[in-house]
Amino acid sequence: MSKKIVAFLPILLATTTYAQSAADTGKRSPVRTLTYQQYQALLKGEANEDMARVAEMNHYPLPEKVLKYKYELDLSPIQVKKLTEAKDYLHRRRLQIGGSIIDTEHMLDSMFRYNKVQDGNLIFYTNRYGLYQGELKNAFLQACLSTRNLLSQQQMKKYESLEKRK
């Protein structure tokens, strides 16, 4: 083996080991820079729940959380329909954007792994990654805004008291 490969091998192994931590239950992600759990969450549209934190902290709940209490909150059929639509739209966006994030992670990994990194393509893909993060945050916050606008003040108070009991 050449000296370059021997010198690079420990770095490659450390990166792979980091991304494939013990918490991964022995399964490997197809994208080396993502753990199996991160990859699965992005693939299934379940990642980045914390993107709604700013809204939730300020009394703008996620639609799926409100729907859990549809009977306790006495939601009307129209409210249930609109909340379900908001929840479904958010899930679709999470799937779309999650796939884009996976593709971008894979591209960045390939660029570095095969020593094909150039300033221009690095700027392009990292800006693209930031764009996806912004789109995802917007999707979460839009869902929270529409949820809040659908609920009466009494329903919001009841929702918050139910959430505190959890």
Which pLDDT score is estimated for 1?
Answer: 42
Whether residue 17 is predicted with pLDDT greater than 60 in this model: the reply is no
Q: 126 to each of 63, 105, 107, how far by Cα in Å?
A: 31, 9, 10
Whether residue 15 is predicted with pLDDT greater than 90 in this model: the reply is no
Place of tokens 């083996």: 1
CA distance 97 to 16: 24
20-76 residue pLDDT tens? 444 545 789 999 999 999 999 999 998 787 899 999 999 999 999 999 999 999 999
Residue with more model confidence, 18 or 30: 30
105-150 residue pLDDT tens? 999 999 999 999 999 999 999 999 999 999 999 999 999 999 999 9
- Per-domain boundaries in the chain: 38-165
CA distance 91 to 89: 5
